[in-house]
């Protein structure tokens, strides 16, 4: 596959992105508060994952300050350079963590983000989550200053409710800018944004949804349902947070079976079909950022962009996963 795949506009920005990006939380290399969720990936494996991602036609990467205290950003930048990529060839999204910080921290810490990215620009800077002592208005004002200073290109949010997302967009509009994306948990096994107003508000305001955990920590690959030994081999933090409890696994089996049936028609995998549903069911509103801990996974993820499910197939998966809209 090459980079000639169709691109889509990210929100109201001028960014043109592939329907899938690469989530880079797993590049934390075991560091920081959130780094232990993943096994420590050696530099060589990270390089191979990034190269396979680019070869698959993916042109953007999502990372964050919180992923290893900047370690993910550093590892990503190093791997991109080894792959021969420059700032004009790659789109980078990263995030500022608001916990226990005022909005002034956004401007004070931007140099650390840029240093960690080692010459790569920040095309999309996101507020990582809504729990904050700073108001939405003050956060957006700080983000707008960074845009005007040329330190970031566009502003996004993450994990924002519909109401909070609208407030952020209104605050930026008064400053001549827009919120271009809301990064949220969204998959066939977590469809709450369809019932809580987030997706409807995003469509109304031309805000892209960036779906994280689109494969539900690997559950939608189908490989864990009949292999409890694989579940036991996962890091304990991932088992607890990832929803691998027996009752949940049993409830999701009809979705896995439907994915497998459709996958056989395309010589694809259940994971590829699950990703294809996400990026097509709502037109071009949703893009997704599956992660990868191996180069083969990155290649498999990218191949999910090479076909399009029929309307009947999209609707069938909608019906069998309707329980997860609750």
- What pLDDT score does 3 carry? 46
Query: What percent of the chain is modeled with pLDDT above 70?
Result: 93
Give the confidence band of 36 by pLDDT, cuts at 50, 70, 90. Answer: low
Report residue 241's pLDDT band, with 50, 70 and 90 as the boundaries: low
Q: Is the pLDDT of residue 9 over 80?
A: yes
Report d(CA 210, CA 219) in Å as an integer: 19
Helix or strand (DSSP H, E) at 24 = none
In the predicted structure, residue 44 carries a pLDDT above the cut 80: yes
Neighbouring CB atoms inside 10 A of 173's CB total 13
The yes-or-no verdict on residue 170 having pLDDT over 70 is yes
- Report residue 37's pLDDT band, with 50, 70 and 90 as the boundaries: low
Task: Return the number of other C-beta atoms located less than 10 Å from residue 153's C-beta.
Answer: 18
Catalytic residue among 67, 125, 186, 324: 67
186 is an active site residue: no
Q: What is the mean pLDDT of the chain?
A: 93
The CA–CA distances, whole Å, from 285 to 12, 127, 203, 205 equal: 11, 20, 7, 11
Lowest mean pLDDT among 73-77, 160-164, 243-247, 297-301: 243-247
Query: What does the pLDDT look like over 101-133, one tens digit per residue?
Result: 999 999 999 999 999 999 999 999 999 999 999
The pLDDT assigned to 218 comes to: 87
Structure tokens at 23: 């989530």
Quick check: 242 pLDDT over 70? no
pLDDT exceeds cutoff 50 at 209 = yes
Other beta carbons within 10 Å of 325: 13
pLDDT at 237 (0 to 100)? 61
pLDDT for 120 equals: 98
Q: What is the pTM of this model?
A: 0.94
Residue 244 vs residues 40, 103, 211, 232: alpha-carbon distances, Å: 21, 37, 20, 10
pLDDT for the residue 40? 81
Give the model's pLDDT for residue 297. Answer: 96
Fold designation for 18-220+283-292: TIM Barrel (3.20.20)
Asked if residue 79 lies in contact with residue 295, where contact means CB atoms within 8 angstroms, the answer is: no
**DSSP helix, strand, coil percent of the chain (3-state; round to 5):** 45, 15, 40
State the number of CA atoms in the 13 A half-sphere of 109 facing the CB. 20
């Amino acid at each position: 596959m090459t980079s000639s795949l169709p691109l889509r506009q990210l929100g109201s920005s001028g960014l043109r992105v592939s329907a899938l990006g690469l989530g880079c939380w797993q590049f934390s290399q075991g560091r920081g508060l959130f780094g232990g969720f993943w096994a420590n990936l050696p530099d060589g494996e990270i390089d191979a994952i990034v190269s396979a991602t680019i070869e698959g036609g993916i042109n953007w990467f999502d990372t964050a300050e919180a992923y290893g205290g900047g370690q993910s950003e550093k590892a990503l930048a190093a791997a991109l350079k080894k792959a021969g990529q420059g700032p004009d060839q790659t789109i980078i999204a990263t995030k500022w963590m608001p916990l226990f910080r005022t909005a002034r921290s956004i401007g004070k810490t931007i140099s650390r983000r840029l240093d960690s990215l080692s010459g790569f620009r920040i095309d999309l800077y996101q507020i990582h989550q809504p729990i904050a002592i700073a108001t939405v208005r003050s956060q957006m004002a700080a983000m707008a200053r960074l845009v005007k200073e040329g330190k970031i290109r566009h502003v996004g949010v993450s994990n924002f409710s519909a109401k909070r997302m609208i407030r952020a967009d209104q605050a930026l509009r008064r400053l001549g800018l827009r919120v271009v994306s809301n990064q949220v948990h969204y998959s066939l096994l977590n469809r709450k944004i369809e019932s809580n107003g987030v997706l409807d508000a995003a469509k109304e305001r031309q805000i892209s949804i960036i779906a994280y955990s689109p494969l539900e920590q690997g559950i939608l690959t189908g490989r864990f349902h009949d292999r409890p030994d694989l579940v036991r081999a996962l890091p304990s933090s991932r088992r607890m947070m990832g929803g691998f409890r027996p009752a949940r696994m049993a409830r999701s089996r009809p979705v896995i079976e439907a994915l497998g049936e459709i996958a056989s028609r395309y010589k694809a995998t259940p994971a590829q079909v699950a990703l294809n549903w996400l990026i097509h069911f709502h037109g071009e509103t949703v893009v997704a950022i599956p992660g990868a801990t191996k180069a083969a996974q990155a290649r498999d993820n990218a191949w999910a962009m090479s076909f399009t499910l029929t309307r009947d197939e999209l609707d069938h998966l909608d019906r069998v996963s309707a329980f997860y809209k609750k």
